Structure 1
Amino acid sequence: MTAESALRWGSTLDSVVVYAQGALCSRLARGGVPADGRVRVTGLPRSLDPGSLRVKVLGAPGVRVTEARVEVEAELSGTDVLDTLRHEYERLSDAHAAAQGRRDRQLSLIEEVRALHPVPPARKRDDPHRRTPADAWLELADFVDERLTGLHHRLVELEEAVRGVAHELSVVTDRMERASTDTPSAHVETTVCAVVTLDGADRTGDAEVELELEYGVPGAVWVPAYRLTHRQGDGDGRLVLRASVAQRTGEDWTGVRIALATADLRRRTDLPRLRSVRIGRGQPAPAPSGWREPPAGLVGLFSGYDTAGPAPAGASGAVAAGLWLGSMDGSASGPVPPPAPQGYGAPPPPGSVGGAPPEAFGGAMPSPAPPTGAGHSRTRSAGRSRADAPAAAAPPAPGTAAPPPPPPPVAGPPQPSDAELDYAALALASPEEEAGRRGRLFPGSAFDPVAAEYRRRAETVAALRLPGQAVRPRESAGSFDHRFDATARADIPSDGTWHTVTVGEIPVGLRTEYLCVPSVEPVVYATLVLSNATDQALLAGPVEITVDDDFLLTTALPTLAPGGVRRVGLGPAEGIRVTRRTNLHESTSGLRNNTTVLDHRIHVELANRLSAPITVEVRERVPVTAEPDVRIEERADWTAPEEGAGPDRHAAGTRVWRLDLPAGATAALDGGYEIRIPTGKALADGNRRS
């Protein structure tokens, strides 16, 4: 089917779902359907995955899609051959080279003038001494100084010109590197379109039909970020979810609906194929349907091609019917076969009811040595016997062992593998292949160098350096997947750099608490306790905290599951003072003083110098023993914290005081514990405690 045989529809990008790596794009196309029902939807990116194309009809119940496949076209670019940046880059490159040449010539001229000095004439042995003309020496020195002064002034101007042109050239070079990959940069532009066949369009009359095309592209990543606004004394706050998105898919996302997902787009979702296991006599597996013998006269089909002589030097080995693809940067280089049919137009999968389509004609591709087993050897040998022409064996080299003879062909019907029955992935070998392969279908789609280069460049965004304290969503989401839909449309160019998108506002519960561990450091730290009452998880990422309209700091927000509560540190609280004193008293007890008693006493004082009441949590730690003879008796009103998981897990022996301090108040906390150790287990000078 040529480009003129199908009606062309333009398409607009409507929505994008960005996954952990890659994106799923949705385009809308509208137009009238011709009599044959075939339309060609343009505007698809060059880096799309052909196997991910899905098409559906919107708002027309009687119309359905019967075929959809991806095709690549080459056409002259409608824009100038070189865009403005490339013209500017070439102009500045020439200007920079010219400025350097002028600077180098000026340096050589300075060296020539600096080399000027008086040279006295050679004196013979009998000649008397001559008087040196001092005025001439001075005049030459003045001339050299004056000339060098002017040359150095000119050199300074040339150096400034070189630095200015070099700066402009570096700016243009940076702009070219950051430029969007959506615009072509060559004479010939290779475009991707979807050829769709509709059935039942005659029922709609002259009404237009709207199609939605969904396809996957590589080269898109995202990480979450937050902005938290809080007022002291309030029990809630505003948490704005933002996302840093980078994409180099080859098309600019302009005015699209953005959704962010933590799932892996490349994860397999097909169901496993379960085979029945029977106990009893062995039964041969039924031969898969869909395989056919190669048509008769296939070898003679290429006789005219062989008599035409070798292909031109500039032509590629693979020939496609009137289809020329571009080079790595999008320019035309040589003919390359089109990709295999994909999408709704692909032939039925293996095992389906009905005869095989024409793509199923051909032999099995010779493959490497299969695993041990009669089934594999039978399959491969049968494929070789029916697909490949026997080649004359070359005589072995002198001194080398003769290769083993090929196994005899196995009688019976062939048993092609699953790859040989995957019609959508079969590719037709070109006439440049060997005689036993050309004209037959083999597993593996046709190689498209332009698409491969676009996908390779798109994958480079996965190596971008993450923003500060950012965590990839696949790492913080754990075993669950989440999706976040942005409330407004956004613009993200295809330049491979980070762009910030506001997703929406999430209500969270907030309360300010203060935490200190005086045994480690006599400092009180302010913390925000966040509670997530929504049904969406908050992924780990950087959060900008603003308290009372004043920016406080940027810290890391941990992953907060639905209904979870986590603590975020805000730094030291200078308005709260804490002091800690300890006292140890050692004694003995028992009938014969056979027990050593170590009495530890702890005294903690807190002072609130803030203008608002606070809640302080003071943490201490008591010893833990596994010896049944060693006893530890606590004497304090502290409590043991609740056992948590992950970062909320407390060390063994942790004890907590929680108290409320009014503004300007002080409080004292007293506690302690006794360690009772039998005398036989005590160490000399080893029972002292700090």
Structure 2
Amino acid sequence: MTADTEHRWGSTLDSVVVYARGAVCRRLARGGVGPDGRVRVTGLPRTLDPGSLRARVLGAAGVRVTEARVEVEAEPLGTEAPDALRREVERLRAAYEAAAGRRDRLLRRIEEVAALRPAPPARKREDPHRRTPVEAWLELAEFVDGRLTGLHERLAEGEEALRRAEHAFEAAADRLARASTAAPAAHVATTVSALLTLVGAGDAEVALELEYGVPGAVWVPGYRLTHRQGDDSGRLVLRASVAQRTGEDWTGVRIALATADLRRGTGLPKLRSIRVGRRQSAPAPSGWREPPPGLADLFTAYDAAGPRPAPVTVGAPLAVGGAAPPPRAAAPVPVAPPPPPPPATLGYGAPPPAPGSAPEAFRGPASALPQPSGARPGGRPRAAGAAPMAPAAPAPPGGMPAAPAAPPAPPAGPPRPKDTELDYAGLVLSGPEEQGGRRGRLFPGAPLDPVAEEYRRRAESVATLPLPGHCVRPRESAGSFDHRFDAAARADIPSDGVWHTVTVGEIPVGLRTEYLCVPSVEETVYATLVLSNATDQALLAGPVEVTVDGDFLLTAALPTLAPGAVRRVGLGPAEGVRVTRRTELRESTSGLRNNTTVLDHGVRVELANRLASPVTVEVRERVPVTSEPDVRIEERADWTTPEDGAGPDRHAPGTRLWRVDLPAGGTTALDGGYEIRIPAAKALVDGNRRS
């Protein structure tokens, strides 16, 4: 395909579905199609997965896409390339280095001036003692002090200038590090395009939809809850923190968030039937096909042509005037051991294999056959001057050579190909330079675009970003179910690898405020919000910002709420509701011979509501439990036994509940208690019997 025969279309990113890791992008393109039906759609990211490209025609009957493949192009950037931020960083780096150099020179000058000392002339032994010139010493000290004062003032100015230059350089470097990866990082722009072939389009204008997967995108959920005291409802807004480094900016796109794993296989398992009898069903195709006959004779003419000329090494000494260069000592060239036998699968097609054992070509490596002298593996003679083969290993003591290890026996039955060997697009045909067992056959090759693999590896770095507070990965909170949340409005998310907040939408939830206290542990009343999920989708675990009566209260951790589930969210102590607990213990005996000890426990709980609205308070107490048949516990209170739940709703044995409705400014008192009857010959061990 050439530029003269193809039609170039621009494309626009329309929507993105962000999964637990990775994303699926959807682009729209429109244009005219030439008589050959070839179209090149540009604007695709460098991290695109070539195997995920899908294309279809929108709103045109009879037009379909028959071929779609990915192609990478490179072209030099012009002088007006968008690298102003990079040039600014280089300029600030040079300014910082210059300021650091001036500061270092001032420090050296200060050291030199501070090292000035008076040096008296050398005195001979017969010379008399001289008087010290004090005035000269004082003048030198004044000179040093004055010079040091000026140098230290300049040093303070230089250090301040260095600090400002360092701050400006670090800020610009941070902006460059956080800048979008959609801009090219070099002077060569690399573009990825999709080459499509359309049938039935004619000269009409056609609209296309391209879908492809990219790595380097993650998201975590978050919430904002708005509530007013006294109301039985609230507004729960789902917000998501999204980070992406896919190489393209998502500008004005529709965002959808999914909890599914994009890399998880979705193929349905096949349950094979088991038949009893001689007649069995035909085996399923294995994807392997026997090599064509006469494959070894295909390279006869190539081997007969002799060795290829040795390549000329750049920088090697050349002969001058017919004189040959002096010989060099040839370094020994190690010879690798023969390669392992080729795998038992060759991607020649998908017809079923012939029943029976594997063909002869798979029973052992071709390099194990005896080779003639001067020949190299593959049948071609060794070039003159080539390094000899490595000598065989010396025989062990005793004179008997060691027997070579026998190759492992191939498995019985037809060869079973691996997943990489069934990927026909990734198979590479081995050339005549390969070993005898690989020549002319298909084997899995290296990735065709290692640069793209490096781009994808860098994009995956967003998976290691630290999570915001109380955030949980979607796959950890979604459990075995997958959910999708569609954002109500379009959003902008640059490819900078940092978290960006996107508002998804409002979720209807049931909401009521309840107060909870356990006065036997702490005489404090705590406010809680009871959330009930009334939707058909689960609410994933994440942070929730609670706002009560227009004032921000706190950020709590919201647990996962399945459809129809009810959970509590703690709001902290409620200072407007007070609780007081008093206990009383009376010990006595009963029975015909006073053979039963009675421990009578009395509990009195007093509540006071100082709020301007009525409240519902749940008071929790605990009654002792016993496993002894001789010990009896008799309760005398109007409390109730809670229903035993699962997980965080599970109550400890012996838990009892009081539910009290208090009006605004009202008070109440709750009386209860229990008796413990034990035989007189026994006694309570451990615990606080007066609690």
TM-score after normalising by structure 1:
0.84
Q: Name the residue aligned to 2:289.
A: 291
Q: Aligned pair 1:366/2:343, yes or no?
A: yes
After TM superposition, the structure 1 stretch with the greater mean CA deviation from structure 2, 125-134 or 537-546, is: 125-134
Deviation at 1:305, TM superposition (A): 12
Query: Is the alpha carbon distance of 1:83 and 1:286 closer, same or farther for their aligned partners in structure 2, counting shifts above 3 Å?
Result: closer
Label 1:395 to 1:277 Cα distance change in 2 as closer, same or farther (>3 A): farther
Matches of residues 157-556 of structure 1 in structure 2 within 5 Å?
Answer: 157-202=157-202, 206-280=203-277, 285=283, 288=286, 291=289, 293=291, 297=298, 307=308, 309-310=310-311, 365-366=342-343, 379=358, 382-383=361-362, 392=371, 396-399=392-395, 401-406=402-407, 419-429=420-430, 436-437=437-438, 440-444=441-445, 446-556=447-557
Cα distance change on mapping 1:391 and 1:229 into 2, 3 Å: farther
C-alpha spacing 1:66/1:222, structure 2 compared with 1 (3 Å): same
Distance change (3 Å), C-alpha of 1:666 and 1:289: closer
**How far has the Cα of 1:680 moved from its partner?**
4.0
2:344–2:362 contact (8 Å) kept in structure 1: no
SS at match of 2:644: coil
Which aligned runs of 4 or more in structure 1 are off by greater than 6 angstroms? 301-306, 311-314, 384-389, 407-415, 684-687
- The offset of 1:292, in angstroms, is 5.6
- Letter of the 2:558 partner, please give it: L
Deviates more, 1:557-566 or 1:586-595: 586-595
Q: Name the stretch that deviates more: 497-506 or 34-43.
A: 34-43
| Contact 2:23-2:215 within 8 A present in 1 as well | yes
Aligned partner of 1:397: which letter?
A
How far residue 137 of structure 1 moved from its aligned partner, in angstroms, is 1.4
**Deviation, structure 1 residue 670:** 0.5
- Counterpart-to-counterpart distance in 2, 1:585 and 1:8: 94
Q: CA separation in 2, counterparts of 1:396 and 1:611? A: 98
Distance in 1 separating the partners of 2:403 and 2:533: 74
Question: More deviation in 379-388 or 643-652?
Answer: 379-388
Check the 8 A contact 2:21/2:216 in 1, yes or no: yes
Partner of 2:20: 20
Q: CA separation in 2, counterparts of 1:313 and 1:267?
A: 50
The residue correspondences of 1:638-677 to structure 2 (distance < 5 A) are 638-677=639-678
RMSD (Å) for aligned C-alpha atoms: 3.3
Deviation per CA, 1:635-659: give whole Å up to 9, x if none: 1100111222211111111111001
Change (3 A) 1:212 1:534: same
Deviation at 1:81, TM superposition (A): 6.2
- 1:340 aligns to what? none
- Supply the AA of the counterpart residue of 1:226: Y
The offset of 1:662, in angstroms, is 1.0
Supply the distance in 2 between the matched residues of 1:472 and 1:530 (Cα, whole angstroms).
21
Contact 1:531 1:563 in 2 (8 A): yes
- Residue in structure 1 matched with residue 326 of structure 2 by the alignment: none
Amino acid of the structure 2 residue aligned with 1:673: Y
Task: Using the TM superposition, give the Cα deviation of residue 415 of structure 1 relative to its aligned residue in structure 2, in angstroms.
Answer: 6.8
- Aligned position for 2:586: 585
Task: Give the match for residue 100 of structure 1.
Answer: 100
> 1:158, CA displacement in angstroms?
1.5
Q: Given residue 478 of structure 1, which amino acid in structure 2 is its aligned partner?
A: G
Whether contact under 8 Å (1:582, 1:600) holds in the other structure is yes
Query: 1:474 and 1:229 mapped to 2: Cα distance?
Result: 27
Q: 1:216-270 deviations in whole A, cap 9, x for unaligned?
A: 1111111111111111122211111110000111111111000001111111101
Determine if contact 2:259/2:478 at 8 Å carries over to the other structure: yes
Provide the residue aligned with 1:76 in structure 2. 76
Residues 410/684 of structure 1: CA separation in 2 closer, same or farther (3 Å cut): closer
Contact 1:181 1:248 in 2 (8 A): yes
Distance verdict in 2 for CA 1:407–1:147, change over 3 Å: closer
Q: Quick one: structure 1 residues 387 and 483, their matched pair in 2 at CA, closer, same or farther if it must change by over 3 Å? A: farther
Q: 1:248 to 1:412 in 2, by over 3 A?
A: closer
CA distance in 2, matches of 1:407, 1:142: 93
Secondary structure of the structure 2 residue equivalent to 1:138: helix
Contact conserved, 1:56 with 1:65, CA < 8 A, in 2? yes
**What CA distance in whole angstroms lies between the structure 2 residues aligned with 1:411 and 1:586?**
84
Q: Which residue of 1 aligns with 2:349?
A: none
- Look up the match of 1:41: 41
Instruction: Give the partner amino acid of 2:94.
Output: D
Residue 390 (structure 1) shift: 5.6
Unaligned runs of at least 5 residues, structure 2: 316-340, 346-353, 372-376, 378-389, 397-401
**C-alpha distance 299-539 of structure 1, shift in aligned 2 (>3 A):** farther
The 1:435/1:41 distance shift into structure 2, 3 A limit, reads farther
- Cα distance per residue 1:114-167 (max 9 Å; x no partner): 111211122223322222222211111111111111111111121122212111
The 8 Å contact of residues 239 and 505 in structure 1, kept in 2 or not, is answered as yes
- Matched with 1:339 is none
CA spacing shift, 1:448–1:79, aligned 2, 3 Å: farther
Q: Which runs of 5+ in 1 are unaligned?
A: 315-363, 369-374
Counterpart CA distance in 2 for 1:494 and 1:28 is 20
Contact 1:382–1:409, Cα closer than 8 Å, also in 2: no
Q: Distance in 2 between matches of 1:228 and 1:367?
A: 61
Cross-structure match for 2:597:
596
Give per-residue Cα distances to partners, 1:58-97, cap 9 Å, x unaligned.
Answer: 1012112222222222322356567112212222222222
Q: Equivalent residue of 1:545, what SS?
A: strand
Q: Is the contact made by 2:363 and 2:409 (CA closer than 8 Å) also made in structure 1?
A: no
Question: What does the per-residue CA deviation read over 1:540-566, in whole Å, with 9 as the maximum and x for residues that have no partner?
Answer: 111111111111111111212222221
Distance 2:23 2:502 in 1: 16
Determine helix, strand or coil for the equivalent of 1:307: coil
Secondary structure of residue in 1 paired with 2:569? strand
Which amino acid letter does the alignment assign opposite residue 366 of structure 1?
Answer: P
Give the SS at the match of 2:421: helix
1:381 touches 1:410 (CA, 8 Å); kept in 2? no
- Whole-angstrom CA distance in 2 between matches of 1:585 and 1:417: 80
- The answer to whether the 8 Å contact 2:16/2:253 transfers is yes
Between structure 1 and structure 2, the one with the greater Rg is: 2
Read off the aligned partner of 1:489 and give its amino acid letter: R
Contact 1:584–1:601 (Cα < 8 Å) also in 2: yes
Q: Once the two structures are superposed, what CA deviation does each residue of 1:158-189 show, in whole Å capped at 9, x if it has no partner?
A: 11222121111111211121111111111323
Distance 1:313 1:594 in 2: 111
- The 1:417/1:581 distance shift into structure 2, 3 A limit, reads closer
Question: What is the number of residues matched between the two proteins?
Answer: 633
Label 1:147 to 1:420 Cα distance change in 2 as closer, same or farther (>3 A): closer
Residues 71 and 194, structure 1, Cα contact 8 Å, conserved in 2:
yes
CA distance in 2, matches of 1:73, 1:685: 80
Distance 1:164 1:70 in 2: 48
CA gap 1:91/1:672 in 2 versus in 1, 3 angstroms: same
* One-letter amino acid of the counterpart of residue 101, structure 1: G
